[in-house]
Each structure stands twice: as structure tokens, then as C-alpha cells.
Amino acid sequence: MSTAIVLFRRDLRLADNPALLAACAKHDRILPTYVHAPAEHAPWTPGAASRWWLHHGLQALRSQLAAQGGDLHLLAGDTLEHLRTLIRASGATEVHWNRRYEPAGIASDTALKAALREDGLAVHSHAGHLWREPWALATDAGQPYRVFTPFWRKLRAGLPDAAPLPVARAREWLRLPGSLPTTALELLPTIRWDAGLAGHWTPGEAGAHELLEIFADDAVADYAQGRDLPARHGTSRLSSHLHFGEITPAQIRRVLQDRASRTDARKRPDLEPYLRELGWREFAHHLLHHFPHTPDANFNPRFDGFRWAAADEALLERWRRGRTGIPLVDAGMRELWHTGWMHNRVRMVVASFLTKNLRQHWRHGARWFWDTLVDADLANNTLGWQWVAGCGADAAPYFRVFNPYLQAAKFDPDAAYLKRWLPELASLPAKTIHEAWRHPSALASKGYPAPMVDLGASRDAALAAWGALAD
């Protein structure tokens, strides 16, 4: 009987899993394995919110395998040494995995593949994370894309129409002694601050598909407008499930297309705005692959000379805790702290406030998001922060400074989002909250802080710093 090991990482699913399906098709026995090796991700080891999601995602995958009579062999430590031990114990002749695309992951997998092949193993890596591999698209001049629209045009034209792969089923799931309980990985916080996360999310493949069905039923038809309204569930909220590989872009597209095809033509939703957002995720991975220095360095080297303000821990802490005195910024930061997620429109506003009104370096924000977002993804996080800061690929110009008051009045006119996350202001009229600078005593009487910075003056200072760079 032939045996293969399938190494799970960011692909915590049984359906549309190329590595798992290929191994099941070829071998009699499959040993599903997960090795917890956070050092392989350094310097971007997973943050606290990501670790919470990973714990529950692993539990969900173990339950799925148990339903088929198997289990996930769970280990912690050095991946190569653990695999060598498992290979000796199981007699496995092949190892399969789906590729990772972060710089540290690529380096680890390259070394792992070389070592195992030197041991005489057949090692197969598969594409199971994106529509297209990050190196698969190039401009007509053979260069990486730096602008999203032409990238999306080429990607969109070549999207495959093949159905996603079915659920993989092994002829025999191999079990070996020595597998750890999920709790042994110590992924959950010792001080239980995670009740808000548990109340908002269901990690795992089933939770991903449940959210997709809700989105297909309730929000995709109005996505172009609804995605900008933070008080509504107008987005798919699938970003964490995508990051952990509990669902794939191909599965999402197929479900939405199938649902649309069964809808009356006069009411058929336009899927393009949402598919374009999935394309933005692909663009982020394309950029990270070709410009692997960007998680810590400006994509646009002109910004290396930008006059950021000196790091101010007091300012940063008020921003992190949602105590800036700017209602939309504070609501977003409190939503993040409580749920591990933030609406994308609000993410842009809080990032603009940090990098422009406070003129703190974008890396401070990127690191905080990395630790607190359940959907923290190195490619997306890097592209998003550099886009808002003005120093990234296809970035918003630095002189585009989001006005939090105008953004709130436009996209949260009834202040429903603001009142939800700023309960101390819930009794005030929406107009008072939207014009908080006109009513400092009314907000102060509710225990809400005064603005930590004048938006107009700080905007002028940011533009002056940008002007000095431009000169």
C-alpha cells in the first residue's frame, strides 16, 4: 500500500484542495499533517487575532476529517525533522502541499523541498491559493504590473471556467501516535479577550460557505453601493476564510455565477464589482512576490525621504484604543479591537488619519493591524497601508486626505455605525456626532474625548511635508 503525507498550512479545507486531491488519487493511505512552526514566518509571525482564528480553523478541519474516519496529525516545532520522523513511521514515499507566497514561506518551502528530495522523497507543490500564480502575469514588456487596472484586465480575461475540485476522500486516512491536541499549540489568549471574536466568527470551511451563501442571498446584488456602508453587512466578510484557505476564489466565483444564472435576467446581479475586489487580492500577492521588501520598505523609494513625525507612543496608543476624539476613527478602532475586523471604508479612514493627520509612519499601523485583524494577510496588509499612505503601487496620491467627518456623514448618515461602537454617544442626534467639532461640550458630557488633533491644521502640515518631498 502506498502512503503520502499531505502538509496543510494556509489551506484548511477538504474541497478544492489540489494537494490533497492529487495525493488521494494516487495513494492508498493519506496522513494529513499540520506542523505549527511560527518561526518560519519571521519577522511576520502570526498576530494574536490570527492565532485565535488558526486554533478554531484547525479544530474545524479535524472535525471534518473525523467525520471521514481520519484526523489531522498535529505537531509543533521543526517541520523538516517532524516530516522525516513521520516518513520513517508511515513509509510515505511522497509529500504534497499547496504553495505559500510570502517571502519567508517561499524560502522555507524551497529549503524543505530540497532537503526531502535529497532524502529520496518525491515532493509535489500545488497551486491552491489564488486564481493565478503571482509570477504568471506580466506586462507586454515582460515586467511586473504596478497598476491594478491593466493587471485586472489581463487576469479577468484569463480566469478559468473549470469547476472547483470536489471534496477529497482518502481510501484510508492514516493515524499515527504522537499527534498533539490543538490546545497544546497555545494559540488562544491566556487572558480571554476573545469573546467578541467568538461572537462574530465561525472559522472553518463550513463557516466560510455559510457566509458565502448569506452574501449571495442578501448583499452581492447591491455590492457596488452597499460595500461602502459600514452599518450594513454589505460585504462578503470572507477575507479571513480566504487567508486561511477555508474557501478559494474559484469556489466563490462559481457559487455566485451559479446563483446569478438562476436569477431572472432583469434582476441578475452584476458580479464584476465583487470579483474585482478578489482581483485586488491577487494584485497584492503579485506585488509581494515581485517586490518582497515592501512589508517593511516603501514601494516608491521617493518616500524614503519623507518627513514622518517622530514616533509618539501616546498618540499611537490613543489611536489604537479608539480615543482620538474623531468619531469615525474611534468607531473603527473599537470595532477592530472587539471583533478582529474592520469595514474596508473605515480602514482607509483610520489609516489616512494615522499617516496624514498624525503623520506617523505607516509601519506602525501595519503592525497593529497585523496583530489585531483576524484576516491579517501580509500581501493585503502591505498593499493597503502603502496605498493609503501614498507610497505604494497604484497608490492614492499623498495629498488625498480622508476627512473622517465627511466620510461618516456620507456613508453613515444616521450614525448607526458610530452609535454601535461609541455607545457613550448613542443618545446624541446624528447631526451632533457628525459635527462633533461644533459641539465639544455635548460630547465631553458623555465622557468622550476632545479631538487629539485639528484636522485642518494637521492636513496642512501633511501637505507641506509632501510638498517638500515633491520639490
Single-letter amino acid, residue 59 = Q
Q: Which of 277, 300, 337, 437 is catalytic?
A: 277
**Is-catalytic flag, 277?**
yes
CA 98, CA 10: separation in Å to the nearest integer?
8
Q: Cell triple for residue 99?
A: 504553495
Please report, for the chain, how many H helices and E strands are present, in that order.
21, 6
List the catalytic residue out of 52, 53, 131, 362.
Answer: 362
Write out the three cell numbers for 422. 461609541
For the question of residue 193 being annotated catalytic, the response is no
By DSSP bridging, strand 94-98 and strand 122-126 are parallel
Please confirm, yes or no, whether 344 is among the known catalytic residues: yes
Torsion of CA 316, 318, 324, 329, to 10 degrees: 70
Q: Which set of grid coordinates corresponds to residue 297?
A: 520598505
- Which stretches does DSSP call E strand in 72-205? 73-76, 94-98, 122-126, 172-173
Beta-strand ranges (E) seen in 140-237 are 172-173
Quote the CA–CA distance of 281 and 15 in Å, as a whole number.
21
Output the CA angle 238-239-244, nearest 5 degrees.
100
DSSP H or E segment with residue 7: strand 3-8
Determine the Cα–Cα distance for residues 232 and 416; give it in Å rounded to an integer: 9
List the catalytic residue out of 300, 308, 337, 437. 308
Per the structure block, which three cell numbers stand in for 392? 505604494
Catalytic status, residue 308: yes
In a 13 Å sphere around the CA of 219, the CA atoms on its Cβ side amount to 20
Distance CA 251, CA 273 (A): 17
List the catalytic residue out of 280, 300, 337, 437: 280
CA dist 316 → 32, 226, 453, 467 (Å): 43, 31, 13, 25
CB atoms under 10 Å from CB of 40, counted, come to 20
Instruction: List the Cα angle 32/35/40 in 5-degree steps.
Output: 140
In whole angstroms, what is the distance from residue 109 CA to residue 416 CA? 47
Cell numbers at residue 27, please? 495513494
**From 133, 300, 337, 344, active-site residue:** 344
Residue 403 among the catalytic residues: no
The overall longest dimension of the chain from CA atoms, in Å, is 77
- How far apart are alpha carbons 189 and 196 in whole angstroms? 13
Given the residues 385, 387, 421, 466, select the one marked as catalytic. 385
**Burial class (CB within 10 angstroms; exposed 0-12, middle 13-18, buried 19+) of 464:** exposed
**319 has catalytic annotation:** no
C-alpha cell at 60: 474545524
Would you name the residues annotated as active-site residues?
A: 277, 280, 308, 344, 362, 385
